[in-house]
Chains A and B, each alone.
Chain A
Amino acid sequence: MSDILTFIVFILLAGLAIGSALAMVAQRNPLYSAISLIGVFGALAGLYLTLAAPFIAAVQIIVYAGAIMVLVVFVIMLLNVEEEVRRPVRLRYLVPTAVLLAAVLFAEAAFILFYVNDAPAPPSPLATAEPSTTGLTASIGTGLFTTYLLPFEITSILILMALVGAMTLARRTAARPQDLVVPGAQVLPLQMVEPARVGDDTPVRSDTTAEAARTLGLNEQEQTRE
């Protein structure tokens, strides 16, 4: 009874995941694709739940559906991505080739799965041992701080590096020395501040507005005028 129920739930969730994934690829509207992707993540979280890994399921939702997809949707809206226009395919032979290769890969995978299925099943750990604690929050925490301590710490270096890298690539201030930079997110193009000095390459770096004004030769009176 419960086996059948588990199977039905699995089929439903797997179907949702695959269907959403297909919809994501097939959609022309990027926002619809993003929403389909959220469906995939949700279905995956459900599958994790059926595998008795509630922590992973919750984290899947928080990180992917909650944080990453919100950012993706955010970017789609911010860039105002239009519906993708159907362009003429330049490389006509690519589509049949891709289909052929995909079929080959699929056949290969099916062949392998067939053989693996024929292999004698390993003794199920569930049948003999106590209920597994894998996937529970405590066991994941223990794992992170013992066996996987080192990968965990390398990951933290990775994230620090990604932060630095993202900031390096995204920061606009240091890229153009001819811009006036006022701390606190204000970047004023030089030609706006002082049209006479356009073309002068001396970098203007200042820590305060007053300093910037002095560097640019604006007098105090002008600066404090209300």
Chain B
Amino acid sequence: MFLLQANTTALFSVGELQLLAPELILTVCACAVLVMEVVLPYKRGKLTGYFSLIAVALAGASLFAQWYANSYLLPLTGFYGMVRIDGFAIIFKAIFLIAAALSIAVSLRYLDIEGEQRGEFYALVLFATVGMMMLACGYDLIALYISLELMALTFYVLVAFTKRERRSNEAGMKYFLLGAFSSGILLYGMSLLFGVAGSTNLGDIAHKINEVLNAPPMLEGAPTPLRPMLLLGMIALAAGLFFKIAAVPFHMWAPDAYEGAPTPVTAFLSTGSKAASFALYMRIFIEALGGMRADWAPQLGLVAAITILVGNWAAVTQTNAKRLLAYSSISNAGYLLLGLVAGNTYGYVGIILYLLVYTLMNVGAFGVIIALHRRGIVGDRVDDMTGLAQKAPGMAAMMAIFMLSLGGLPLTGGFIGKYFLFGGLLQRGATEQKNWYYWLAVWAILNTVVSFYYYLRFVYAMYFREQPADNRPLALSPALNTALVVACIGVVFIGIYPQPFIHAAQALIGALAASGVVALR
């Protein structure tokens, strides 16, 4: 028999691979896409796009199978504690896969028009999705950081993908420089955290932090010795992550990057990347730094308040649709932070639901902008929407739904998400008996009202202006239409009948909230 010598120790049990089945499927398919790009002739380039859609579907199926088969076993850990598959990871991975699928679907036509129909695009999108999914299930600072870099580097390339476009190059450069800088800050925070905890595992860090914070002071009235170091680490981590989600002091890259990037990339960047960064935020701040909630909650609250203000008011003056949506995305980051500030089941469900709805409606909105992009017409100004209701009523109706949902009108998904986010804040205020939670909620609601102004500008342009911007037909394709219709149905369905989603989110997020409670003890 082929017997192995004792020195070839088992590195890991092969069974652990199934924990990463969706990621493995995506990675293999991404490599296959790269090969297809070389083998297929240029005219058949779109096949790689459809193949990547299949890859995402396969990954989704395996994710579902993973959840279905193991739902009573969760959380599962593996790879020496590097990976933790719990409900939180699964639900975020589902969001990433939806974002990736929709982005690929809307990009098929766009790349044709740009003359950049290349397999690398789809491979890069798949790689970015792998990075995001690893972010959702990573349970170790090293794994998390490398996954974050995998995602971020891919986006730097994707943002600059249309090389002949000057704006795209500029956007890629700006995003890269600022992103690299923020990664440095994030890494600094992580190293400080490691210095205190002596471990990169999030669970160990949480234990150690509770130990440090609950240690009896050496002298009467003196602060806990390691606490300042923890605080600095926390602030650095928060700052690095503020950049990734485009919260206000670190938001300046977003408008430029969103405007210059190819529109499908903007769609993916504003949804997938944001969701992944929030997954990382929740992992680190709730699971590892949960014991320091009293320290970071006011900080995040303040940043959220400023972000909501700046995002909404800056969006009012924009004329470029992509730029406007970039500011809207900044303000949405602020709303999402509220869920983290609330820090209770309500808030977490709000984050999950809102990210899901946000993915659908934002990719949808960018999809409509893509439909306006034709050879020789950029089509990304708000004015380009003029008269869309006459030219393409269906498209205009869907855009209107997306916009109203972004604003948070009842009966759309955006309302449900915001309801939970604000509700969580009020609940937390009631529990902690602190007034600033209420004021924060009121502030957010007031600014939401402002946001309706600029969202309705799209509706006004489409329905109430007579002259169409141009007479050329829209750049439609079956994949784009399907993606838009799916997104639209999703937004409306969640708005009208949210119960199943709420229940699913509550059930899946239970594990995270519980461990958060452990840390909060």
Contacts and interface: CB of A to CB of B under 8 A. Distances in A.
Interface in B198-257: 218, 223, 225-229, 232
A168 B157 contact: yes
A158 interface: yes
A116 B83 CA distance: 32
B461 interface: no
A161 B153 contact: yes
Contacts of B27: 157
Interface residues of B, number: 45
Interface stretch (A17-25, A49-57, A59-67, A141-149): A141-149
Contact of A112 (B82, B116, B147, B228): B228
B93 interface: no
Contacts of A109: 232
Contacts of B79: 149-150
Contact of A154 (B143, B154, B156, B229): B143
Nearest to B19: A150
Contacts of B154: 161, 165
B55 interface: no
A146 B83 CA distance: 13
Given A157-B27, A157-B150, A175-B163, A168 B120 contact: yes
A165 B120 CA distance: 8
A68 interface: no
Interface in B155-179: 156-157, 160-161, 163-164, 172
A161 B82 contact: no
B140 A151 contact: yes
A119 B134 contact: no
A148 B141 CA distance: 11
A150 B143 contact: yes
Nearest to B117: A174
A162 B228 contact: no
Contact of A169 (B131, B149, B163, B229): B163
A165 B156 contact: yes
Of the candidates B31, B116, B131, B157, the one having the most CB atoms from chain A within 10 angstroms of its own CB is B157
A155 B131 CA distance: 10
Of the candidates B31, B34, B79, the one having the most CB atoms from chain A within 10 angstroms of its own CB is B79
Contacts of A120: 218, 225
B12 to A, nearest CB: 6
B153 A174 contact: no
A177 B146 CA distance: 36
Contact of A150 (B82, B163, B164, B218): B82
B124 A175 contact: no
Contacts of B373: none
Nearest to A113: B229
Interface in A35-56: none
A166 B79 CA distance: 30
B187 to A, nearest CB: 14
B228 A147 contact: no
Contact of A157 (B42, B115, B127, B218): B127
A72 B191 CA distance: 27
A112 B156 contact: no
B146 A158 contact: yes
B142 A151 contact: yes
Contacts of A177: 115
Interface in A92-140: 108-109, 111-112, 115-116, 118-120
Contact of A158 (B150, B172, B227): B150
Nearest to B157: A165
A59 to B, nearest CB: 17
Given A158-B149, A168-B120, A146 B82 contact: no
Interface string A5-26: 0000000000000000000000
B118 interface: yes
A164 B27 CA distance: 14
A154 B163 contact: no
Give the top 5 A-B pairs by smallest Cβ distance, nearest first: A119-B225, A165-B157, A112-B228, A150-B79, A161-B127
9 contacts: A119-B226, A120-B218, A146-B80, A148-B142, A158-B131, A160-B127, A164-B120, A169-B172, A176-B164
